[in-house]
A and B are shown apart, each in its own frame.
Chain A
Amino acid sequence: MMTSLAAGNLIENEPAAMLLALAVLLGLARLLGETARQFKQPVVLGEILAGVVLGPTILGALSPGFEPALSIHLYDWLFPSPLTHPGRIALDGFVEISAILLLLVVGLEVDLSTVRRQGKATAYVSALGVALPFILGFGLAFGVPGVLGAGPRGEAAPLPFAIFVGIALSITALPVIAKVLMDMNLAKSDLGMLIISSAMLNDLVGWIGFAVVLALLPAGADAGPHMSVTMTITLTLLFLVVMITLGRWLCHKSLPYIQSRWSWPGGVIGFVSVVALGSAAITEHLGVHSIFGAFVAGVALGDSPRLRERTRETIHQFVTNFFAPIFFASIGLRINFVSSFDLVTVLVVLVVAFVGKSGGCFLGAKLAGMSQRESLATAFGMTCQGAVGIILGQLAFKAGLISEELLVAVVIMALATSLFAGPAMQSVLKLKSQLRLADIVTDKHIKIQMESTTVMEAIAELAARGAEITGIASGVISQAAIKRERVMHTGLPNGLAVPHARLTGLHKPCIVIGRSKPGIDFDAQDGSPAHLICLILTPEEDHDAQIELLALFARTFQDAGLRGRVLSAQTATEFRAELNLASSEM
């Protein structure tokens, strides 16, 4: 049975549990991610939370100390220990590949010319952003090692331990911050580029520093590096330079060949993945993490204008919606936050990391001449520590450098800063996302089949629905709207109509959209009967809202294709699905 074939092995090793684990991880991560989006938070926040919920912190730890609860059985079954279940190792391998593809996508978005233009700012931000938290962490760990809790080998070697703490506090998590920026549509902006390139430098310094720490450890290190530190540093820098010059040029030259000779876009997708996997293997071998190689490959490839937008889009969509959620959710799976929780350690680590990082980056950004607001946003963005901090912490823990308490503190710090970075940046930048009709309409706001045939009836019918939503008497609403309608009819060309009214006592604007298949004559300029009628109710004191909503409605339904599809929708949900698709494509 155990013959020499590929799938044979897993068949014996409970692939059902593993598939279910993947499905649950992906499903919950996407669900919470979408929920986070609905609340205008970065999607990654929900995805990380999904892992915390499914991990040892909640699912694996409900009702501890009592009769083993069902949830613990479920947890053990879904995510068993890798010691006994190869399926879990396979899951870890999959997560590794997810991280690589994610960083590839991030790299594809990097615009080297922007980085060059912002060279000075990048240098300041990353230098100060590393130096300050490093000094704070190093000083603390060297001065009072007892507070933080060194591991068995860390106690014997205070210097490497202190250096490690310094590094752990100064690293920025490239994948997380990149995802936050993508979620906010900032990845391609100047600010986004500054943060990404600083984080990249930061990451590089961190990984090299970690290699130094492992080399400094007293002998007997089984997890020690297989090549000398100087080798690692030289080769990594060499790899970086070669990829960004020669590699970039080669990619640029070979893309037209692949596009003309290979099937499209499949050939290009395959080529991009092969390059990313190859350079990830190289950096992993050099002793820095594989994601770094994937990122550099992405930069080299993405710089070529010959990479078509559609290819990018296919890779991007698949990675952000399939691989990335699994990766972020898996972060929370690794650790139990309850059993080794030590409040003092957690607080000390959290404060030092946060103050050091944001302080350093803020100073750096100010020195580079950026505005107060942008400096703050940069500082908050850079505090985000996320996955890389956790990976480093785990490696150090395995090498006996740090205690479990410190590991948990590092992980909590990483999660807290990741969760904090997005919302903080958003509030500093006061991003006002563009209003979309799909976001303000729910099923309640749509009357899919109007019964009225005249203007007065139609307004009364929509007003009745408006009354349910706002709590204002329907008579009041319809009277106000009819009064306005008498002044001048509100029909628009293309079968639209926008009766409207301002109401005292209304707190926020409200719209009701009605659909009439036979059409109602609102006396439009082009003589067409109105099929889509939008009753717009706005507060008396808010002058802008009415104009804004009117324009929004007219703009959205400008598209004849959308009007046609909306008219053939069966239910209010289908109606909204069409709206959402149309506004996503705009």
Chain B
Amino acid sequence: MHTLAAANISAEDVTRLLIALAVLLGLARVLGEVARKLKQPAVLGEILAGVLLGATVLGNPALLGPDGINVKLYHWVFPEYMLNEAGEQVQAVVVPPEHVTEISDGESRVDAPLLTLSEPKPVPETGFISTTMFLHLSAIFLLLVAGLEVDLSIVWKQGKAALLISATGMVIPFVLGFGLAYALPGVIGYEASSGLLLPFSLFVGIAMSITALPVIAKILMDLNMFRSDMGMLIMSSAMVNDLLGWIGFAMVLAMISGAGVEAGHAAAGGSGLLMTIGLTLLFVAGMLTIGRWLAHKSLPFIQAHTTWPGGVLSFVMVVALFCSAITESIGIHSIFGAFIAGVAIGDSKHLREKTREMISQFITNIFAPIFFAGIGLRVNFLAHFDLLAVALVLTVAILGKVIGCYYGGKWAGLSKRESWAVGFGMSARGAMEIILGQLAMAHGLITEKLFVAIVVMAIATSMLAGPAMQSAMGRTQRRRLADFISEKSFAGQLNATDRRTAIGELAQTAAKATGIGADEIDEAVWQREQIVSTGLPNALAVPHGRLKKLKHPVVVVGQSNSGVDFDSPDGSLAEIVCLLLTPAHQPESQLEMLRAVAEAFHSESVRRDCLAAATLTEFKAALATSAEIQGH
């Protein structure tokens, strides 16, 4: 007789586990980067990776039949349940631990096999258990990072406006979502047999009212608005929103697990539900007051006594794991504990930016892609795609949020334009919504139909938020120098020794890149150069010109090891020369590019690396690594 799991991980299991993780992580990162290139949220690509590798494409029997090579490959790399030779799931009963005696390592004997056995269930593969556990941990750490970003002190400073926006921004979508679910449960995939209509509707309401802090932060940074008053207002409303949303969701989870306890032990009466809710509230209150204070007090102590930043890093992880174990045993999900732990710790000003950065880098680049790819793995997105449900969810989600936040913003005294911007910004749902949906599905609260609709909604709103805010505010995205340079516009080493011939040489390259005659470019730039020379301090030069025929701004880059004299104020010879060409009808783009050049070559190490770069790829690599450093 099988017990629920094989006893030890065999070499083949380890191989499969490693391959599964490598494939998931690899494809998720690649597609995530592709999405980023197309200016879409990375999570879109990451989920797509799971869809490709999972039940929708690779493991789909419809492709090559149930015995097709793709299905076999899928079951080998991502095993789920043990299969017998006929390809059916092996069924086994759960043996209570007290009836199993370990004879020796790897073998066991079951005493009294006829005692209290459960219903037969499929036997999970060891590899499946390990992967699942890894995904579970990933979700915990993702929420930890999300929690660390919440800064309650900012919220207090913003005061009334933030609270108003988040209140109306939550209430209206909640009411709409709740109404939709309560009135038309069947359309969005509610199963009447579960008897959980109230929690189901509450969940849909909450799912509509939550927002995505990381997505919003990223959009604001891209629009160069993160440090502005407006940006802070949006951030702090989103924080309140997130905090309340997760607490509400914990309540819903408590309702269903409390209901489960009630059904199991009739004698316990209705105390189960109240108990779970009470404990949850107690935990939240305790963590946000005493826990926060303790974390604030112990951080300096840890920094004083342990290696840095290792000690703090471990401390944060241990606290997060402990809190998630606590919430899990209360009966709500473990990731909720990690979130609250993140809020409590992240609030302390003693947590250094570098530690925060390190945790978030590692988690968002290793755990997050694996988690999101893992979501797509088991759900067949094609089979469960229901146009009506998707359309309904999407409409309610966008309308509720935009209208709610718009009126909140107006109330708080923002201008019309700003209110629209806040509304669109807050409508981004992003990764948090997907985690929420995944959890609800794991708890049997929603079906795959609604889950697919929620995933689509989350991605669609995240994609919409950036452009919509941009047009509402009339802002353009900040562009970096690297965005203007292409393979054709990289001139490499210059032969010229004086600025006249240097400009001529760059104009030749520019002609190839733009299709405009080299002489024309040369003349325009040289005329400008004669008025005031364009040498900058630190061995840079930015000759520039405006051209009527040009459609988009172009930058041509040349390097000179010996240096060219562009008569710079500090007397240095120009080693990196950037020729800036802008369309005559866009006078503002020249200033933007000048700023981009100055910003890009701000640090000495970047100038050195750029000068040494032999190819455009190396040149861009040097620029990219510096851009990130300055970004923080």
Interface residues of A (CB under 8 A from B): 1-11, 13, 15-20, 22-23, 26-27, 30, 34, 37-38, 80-87, 89-94, 96-97, 100, 226, 256-257, 259-267, 269-271, 273-274, 277-278, 280-281, 284-285, 287, 290, 306, 308, 314-315, 317-318, 320-322, 325, 394, 397-398, 438, 571, 573-574, 576-577, 579-581, 584-585
Chain A to chain B: the 3 pairs with minimum beta-carbon distance, closest first: A93-B130, A90-B133, A23-B321
- Residue ID in chain B nearest A443 by CB atoms: B304
Question: Within the complex, what minimum Cβ distance (angstroms) separates B626 from chain A?
Answer: 9
Cβ–Cβ contact A580 & B29, under 8 A: no
A-B contact pairs, 15 of them (CB 8 A): A3-B441, A5-B442, A6-B374, A6-B377, A20-B321, A26-B314, A37-B307, A93-B126, A256-B618, A278-B22, A278-B26, A284-B18, A314-B358, A579-B304, A584-B308
Cβ–Cβ contact A30 & B318, under 8 A: yes
**A-binding segment of B97-105, B532-540, B571-579:** B97-105
B291-335 residues at the A interface, CB under 8 angstroms? 299-301, 303-311, 313-315, 317-318, 321-322, 324-325, 328-329, 334
Q: What sequence of 0s and 1s flags, for each residue 116-152 of chain B, a beta carbon within 8 Å of any chain A beta carbon?
A: 0000011010111111111111011000000000000
Cβ–Cβ contact A84 & B100, under 8 A: yes
B interface SS class: helix
Question: Within the complex, what minimum Cβ distance (angstroms) separates B261 from chain A?
Answer: 15
Cβ–Cβ contact B132 & A7, under 8 A: yes
Q: Give the distance in Å from the alpha carbon of A579 to the alpha carbon of B308 in the complex.
A: 11
What total of A-B pairs shows CB separation below 8 Å?
291
Q: Is B11's beta carbon under 8 Å from chain A?
A: yes
**A-binding segment of B264-272, B364-372, B501-509:** B364-372
List of A residues within 8 angstroms of B617 by Cβ: 256-257, 260
Question: Within the complex, what minimum Cβ distance (angstroms) separates A271 from chain B?
Answer: 7
Cβ–Cβ contact A4 & B25, under 8 A: no
List of A residues within 8 angstroms of B19 by Cβ: 277-278, 281
Cβ–Cβ contact A34 & B306, under 8 A: yes
B390-449 residues at the A interface, CB under 8 angstroms? 438-439, 441-444, 448
Q: Is B170's beta carbon under 8 Å from chain A?
A: no
Question: Within the complex, what minimum Cβ distance (angstroms) separates A476 from chain B?
Answer: 31
Q: What sequence of 0s and 1s flags, for each residue 53-97 of chain B, a beta carbon within 8 Å of any chain A beta carbon?
A: 001000000000000000000000000100000000000000101
- Residue ID in chain A nearest B6 by CB atoms: A89
Question: Within the complex, what minimum Cβ distance (angstroms) separates A92 from chain B?
Answer: 6
- Residue ID in chain A nearest B107 by CB atoms: A83
List of A residues within 8 angstroms of B134 by Cβ: 90, 93-94, 97
Q: Give the distance in Å from the alpha carbon of A198 to the alpha carbon of B359 in the complex.
A: 34
Q: Give the distance in Å from the alpha carbon of A13 to the alpha carbon of B128 in the complex.
A: 13
11 additional A-B residue pairs with CB within 8 Å, beyond A260-B624, A263-B628, A265-B625: A3-B444, A19-B321, A22-B137, A23-B322, A84-B95, A257-B617, A259-B625, A263-B33, A270-B365, A285-B11, A314-B362
Cβ–Cβ contact B136 & A7, under 8 A: yes
Cβ–Cβ contact B304 & A34, under 8 A: no
Cβ–Cβ contact B438 & A7, under 8 A: yes
Cβ–Cβ contact B378 & A580, under 8 A: no
Q: Give the distance in Å from the alpha carbon of A15 to the alpha carbon of B137 in the complex.
A: 10
Query: Which of A17, A83, A264 is within 8 Å of B3, CB to CB?
Result: A83
- Residue ID in chain A nearest B448 by CB atoms: A3
B232-264 residues at the A interface, CB under 8 angstroms? none
**Given A34-B307, A397-B105, A261 and B33 contact (CB-CB distance below 8 Å):** yes
**Given A6-B375, A573-B300, A322 and B365 contact (CB-CB distance below 8 Å):** no
Cβ–Cβ contact A83 & B108, under 8 A: yes
Cβ–Cβ contact B361 & A15, under 8 A: no
Q: Give the distance in Å from the alpha carbon of A318 to the alpha carbon of B314 in the complex.
A: 9
Q: Is B15's beta carbon under 8 Å from chain A?
A: yes
List of B residues within 8 angstroms of A256 by Cβ: 615, 617-618, 621
Q: Is B9's beta carbon under 8 Å from chain A?
A: yes
Q: Is B5's beta carbon under 8 Å from chain A?
A: yes
